[in-house]
Amino acid sequence: MDIHPNPLPGSALIDLKRLSDDRGFFARAFCVDEFAEAGLDPAIAQCNISYNHKAGTLRGFHYQLEPNAEVKVIRCFRGAIYDVIVDLRPESPTYLQHFGAELTEDNYRAMYIPKNFGHAYLTLTDGAATMYQVSTPYTPGAERGLRWDDPALAVEWPHEVTTISDKDASWPLLTPGSGATAGIGTELSVEAP
């Protein structure tokens, strides 16, 4: 694997090192030792698959509060998505900044998302499917979210959002100028939609 740090400290893009021959290629998609050597948390408690019927489907922004904060490694294995992460660590110099990248069935790239980051993606193709490796089991009472269209985040999505769940469409907006303390161990400072 080639692990490339992103502009948001602690996050990374992971490219495969392909060993190719006339049959195709072989590549390691995950390795506890390589993750640990790169300073990434290698814990995996769950693997989840998400399938999306149509291009323009948005999922997120999701995160879980401490002590259930989760590391995620997401890879698109069918179609293409635009994957976005948001730094929700109040002490971080990149607090509330975001980073996005295309993950596709052709580039085999994965996004490593550290604890205390929000995560969302927009499907770029019909039939896009992703696999998540997650460090902590899903805990409904710890789940929180941010609005995909929050002006405080100013994410430029590559095309129109046409399908979104009621829950994801109704996450609260960040309060402008609040400095939104806490965020992870407790609630982010938000205003009602």
| Catalytic residue list | 62, 132
> What is the residue-wise DSSP string for 137-172?
---GGGEEE--TT-TTT----SS---EE-HHHHTPP
38 pairs with which residues across the strands? none
N-terminal to C-terminal alpha carbon distance within the chain: 42
Cα 42 to chain centroid, rounded: 16
DSSP run (H or E) holding 37: helix 32-37
